[in-house]
Structure 1
């Protein structure tokens, strides 16, 4: 059923607006801010994470346990689909890059800096650094929005996918430094395996030798962040040149996007083969 759900998630994402209607985090974030700043649990970040992450996933697990035996699991399929769609990243990555691409194509560095800070949250001291940061942003957002979610869903089911997204929300939107640090530690553990698998996928669909050189010394490292590793592997696989103004810089973003699409096709092919073998 996992492979069917992943196919349906792609169709729903492309053909409907369900994702935007489903991904409403305001209530959960309100509870997060209330608990992390409250007098009782404000200094107990692990308790806050347990309440806001373990409780929802426990309820989800119980619901799936009840529904799974009914009608050969058909009643559980919509729950799987809704959880996967909710667990995907927020926003439209390509649409968010649109204003930056237009400004960079015109060579308007001031506009590039403005839209990058407004839409992507990226700042830099020079145009070259800004383009590199946007390239890194594209790779990281594609990984954490899509690849990490479908990896954990296929491996451990909707409970793991939901856990990853709630951890990401806590790490990105938390206001208590202790809680953010704990959430980032847990997320780092969640990212360790899938980010390396995606890096290996880049080697298969891109420049194998370049990716191998980049990942050889970092493959088992616990210290390097997922964002740093995926940026190094992605730029090496796509053979991204030094930052250039004008259409050449925009072409580097298109090259990275094409690399991500090839990796996604490879993952889905791998999921399909694994499903047939089982």
Structure 2
């Protein structure tokens, strides 16, 4: 059933209006703000994380446990779809990159710097530094929005996918530094293996030798962030230069998007084989 859900979710992911209607975080973010002000929980970040992430995960697990024996698990299928669609990343990276691509096509470096900071919170001191940072942002968004979610769903089911998304929301929206730091630590642990699998996928669908040489040094480097790992591996796989002109930057985004699509096809092929075996 998991592979069927993953096939359907590709179609759902393309229908961004449907996905956006499912991805309503208002109730969760309201609880996040309320519990941060709680007299007891507000001083215990780990306990607060347990309540915010652990309780919804346990409730979902119990609901799935009740539904799985009913009608051969068919009643659980819609719940799998809803949870996985909710657990995907927010927004559409291609839409967010549209104004930046337009600025690069006009060779308006000032507008490109402004748009990148406004739409992606990516800042650069010099225009020639911006392409590499935006490319890293795209690869990081792909990991956190899709590949890590698919990995944990395939391995542990919808409970793990939901827990990953709730942790990401806490890390992004928490006001308390301690809570944000601990959520980030857990996300780093959850992204560690999917990031390396994605980087290995880049080697298989891109420049194998360049990515392999990089991974030989960084594969087991725990402190290295997932964003840095997939960012550098993706740029090496697509043969992108560190410094690029505006025209090269637009072509670089196209090359990275094609690289991500090939990596996604590879992941689905591996999952299909694993399902059959």
Segments of structure 2 that go 5 or more residues without pairing to the other structure are: none
**Where has structure 1 moved over 6 Å in runs of 4 or more?**
none
Q: What's the counterpart of residue 217 of structure 1? A: 217
For residues 96 and 222 of structure 1, what CA distance do their matches in structure 2 show? 31
Q: What's the counterpart of residue 200 of structure 1? A: 200
8 A contact 2:16–2:92 mirrored in 1: no
Correspondence 1:121 to 2:130:
no
Describe the superposition over 1:94-147 as per-residue Cα deviations: whole angstroms up to 9, x where unpaired. 000000011011110111111111110111100111111101100000111000
Paired residues, what number? 277
Q: What's the counterpart of residue 78 of structure 2? A: 78
1:127-166 to 2 correspondences below 5 Å: 127-166=127-166
For residues 121 and 15 of structure 1, what CA distance do their matches in structure 2 show? 25
For residues 155 and 201 of structure 1, what CA distance do their matches in structure 2 show? 17
Q: What's the counterpart of residue 91 of structure 2? A: 91
Q: What's the counterpart of residue 20 of structure 1? A: 20
For residues 235 and 157 of structure 2, what CA distance do their matches in structure 1 show? 31
For residues 75 and 58 of structure 2, what CA distance do their matches in structure 1 show? 18
8 A contact 1:105–1:249 mirrored in 2: no
Describe the superposition over 1:15-72 as per-residue Cα deviations: whole angstroms up to 9, x where unpaired. 4622100101111111112212333221100111011100001000000000000000
Describe the superposition over 1:132-174 as per-residue Cα deviations: whole angstroms up to 9, x where unpaired. 1101100000111000000000011000000111111111111
Describe the superposition over 1:221-257 as per-residue Cα deviations: whole angstroms up to 9, x where unpaired. 1110100111111111111023322322100011011
More off after superposition, 31-40 vs 141-150: 31-40
For residues 246 and 240 of structure 2, what CA distance do their matches in structure 1 show? 15
Q: What's the counterpart of residue 178 of structure 2? A: 178
Cα distance, 1:78 vs. partner? 0.3
For residues 66 and 94 of structure 2, what CA distance do their matches in structure 1 show? 39
Q: What's the counterpart of residue 242 of structure 2? A: 242
Segments of structure 1 that go 5 or more residues without pairing to the other structure are: none
For residues 137 and 129 of structure 2, what CA distance do their matches in structure 1 show? 12
RMSD: 1.0
For residues 240 and 247 of structure 2, what CA distance do their matches in structure 1 show? 14
